[in-house]
Structure 1
């Protein structure tokens, strides 16, 4: 994540891939049934908003119509910002309804636990509902049945998907068509939170009893090597430890390990559940309270959390272990059952401290 987040009040919102796909499909069905493509095309979002989208391309195909819309994510650093979202609509036999096809660059679900069963195009339920509503309404206006196939494609989508967590979730071949409101709120990190939740769902559906949430690649690799768990047990939570723990509260897994660097776990120990620097910083006074009196002035004057840790190391004081224990006490109340562990990993991938998996005070786990 970025070190400094802009002021949300100054940022421009954008549109989800689901909203863009819906607008493209809506324009395509009009082109298919009337021969004319609306430009711009308006759709109705779940919240009642009616944005208009300019068409990037529009053409009749052999048996259908294709429309492309460039995704505008506003000021959000979305990997799909600027991507071309293509919808091709063709007629289906009378009474067959509306079906969805994953075109090039759109992924296919291959693992259970996601909102869609394996084998389905990775076009999420809300975007599907939006497309069905728009195409059904226009077909009704034209006096025809809403029997259509909708293919969504994203050129270069398979390459872009490598920058997402789709592969770990078992979504192969490209991107997902996402969105529950149709609107991208800049720096809300909704897609990241969504991926965390779906990662838990996939792990639970696979019958896993242990998941590892890590703040970064180094801590994740160290924790995976320690336990030898499969990739689907790994949850890339970034700074959103609260987002992971709160979801696990309602969707429990027996064993949970939280792994991260010393500074991140210090902030968790202080009680912060969002570990981004914008949300809170390392409290050196708090750290000083974990060491003997003689070391406290130096810890309070430290240049960084790492400096504080090195001072403690030099004095033979295991500050990492004290922080891990404090982080465990801060995280445990968020969960409702099972066992929890905190791991602290240094920048070289060396395990500095671990609480071990321990039953929560309020848990039935043994």
Structure 2
């Protein structure tokens, strides 16, 4: 993950907000006049304005596109075109997955298997726009709404969607409509959905790892399926808190000694910009005075015999404290090359 900048950052808008704005533009083109810009009201009352990037219509349908602006957040969908086609009529409000929008194939998500991956809050936002415009113009509320994200299938490969069983493209996300730079809310939400999907699949053992190398090591040790592997990253606290509330029988945690020593010292967020190793505390615990002047956990690992085992045991204690009773746990600590230097539990 990128280091969080120290300068003020610009907010952006979620795919759900962009889809809602695109739907409004399409409905206005169909029922009124083609707009250049549209505003929508977000769940918390904010009223952003969006430029309409494209607009097409034909007999009984209209389609509009909004280019997503994620602000200064390193969002994979920044700059993507969010396109919505609306066809009034039929029975009820129906959502469809167009090009680049995924379909749910596994239980455990807030949408039924077979549904387009358009999350509940974006659906509500779009339904409200449709309801308000239809009521103001005396129109029928029934409509088919198709959301597309050109190139979304390729972008989805950079997200957690394939592991969550969302196939064929991206999800249309957002609970507030606002993207707050480096808030990491989407990452933590994906961890939660990963736990939900694993539980729904009946798995009793899941694993959270800090990166690809530790994930490969832990998965090989326990012969776990891909669906059991949770993309924990730096958010050990977020994972453990959610599993404590939504338990499974066993949790494995894997990571490099630099990350896991911070977990052992009580940190829940292991990012280098938000937590640091307390080397003075390490020196006292290990009884090695020179450790207080060291700068990296790897330097300690090279100097102090048994440091990897110490880290694994300490991290296991913190994992158990956060999980509470009734959930078995183990920890695997590795060095930079992926060699196991400590195991506990």
Same fold (TM over 0.5): yes
- Could you tell me how far apart the structure 2 residues matched to 1:246 and 1:32 are? 48
Q: In structure 1, what is the equivalent of residue 292 of structure 2? A: 300
Return the offset for 1:302: 2.4
Residue matched to 1:340: 329
The Cα of 1:323 is off from its aligned counterpart by 1.2
CA deviation vs aligned residue, 1:61-117 (integer Å, no higher than 9, x gap): 353101000000111110101110000001222xx1111010000000000000001
Q: Give CA deviations for 1:225-274 in whole Å, capped at 9, x if unaligned.
A: 00011000000110000110111121111101111000000000111100
Q: Please say if residues 32 and 90 of structure 1, whose CA atoms lie closer than 8 Å, have aligned partners that are also in contact.
A: no
Q: How many residues align?
A: 344
Task: Identify the residue that residue 83 of structure 1 maps to in structure 2.
Answer: 80
Specify the alignment match of 1:311 in structure 2.
303
Q: In the alignment, which residue of structure 1 is the partner of 2:145?
A: 150
Structure 1 residue 270 corresponds to structure 2 residue 265: yes
Equivalences for residues 191-210 of structure 1 within 5 A = 191-210=186-205
Partner of 1:136: 131
Aligned with 1:281 (options 249, 257, 276): 276
Counterpart of 1:74?
Answer: 71
Identify unmatched segments of 5+ residues in structure 2: none
Q: Which runs of 5+ in 1 are unaligned?
A: 357-366
Q: Which moved more, 1:113-122 or 1:319-328?
A: 319-328
Q: Match for residue 350 of structure 1? A: 339
> TM-score normalised to the size of structure 2?
0.97
1:362 corresponds in structure 2 to none
1:17 to 15, 18, 25: 15
Provide the C-alpha distance between the structure 1 equivalents of 2:283 and 2:58, rounded to a whole number of angstroms.
Answer: 69
CA contact (8 A) 2:89 2:140 kept: no
Once the two structures are TM-superposed, the CA of residue 329 in structure 1 deviates from its matched residue by 1.6
> Normalised by the size of structure 1, how large is the TM-score?
0.92
- Contact 1:13–1:76 (CA<8 Å) still a contact in 2? yes
The Cα shift of 1:297 comes to 2.8
Q: What is the alpha-carbon distance in structure 1 between the residues aligned to residue 148 and residue 84 of structure 2?
A: 7
Q: Could you say if the C-alpha distance between residues 323 and 289 of structure 1 is closer, same or farther in structure 2, counting changes exceeding 3 Å? A: farther
Counterparts of 2:34 and 2:135 in 1: how far apart (Å)? 17
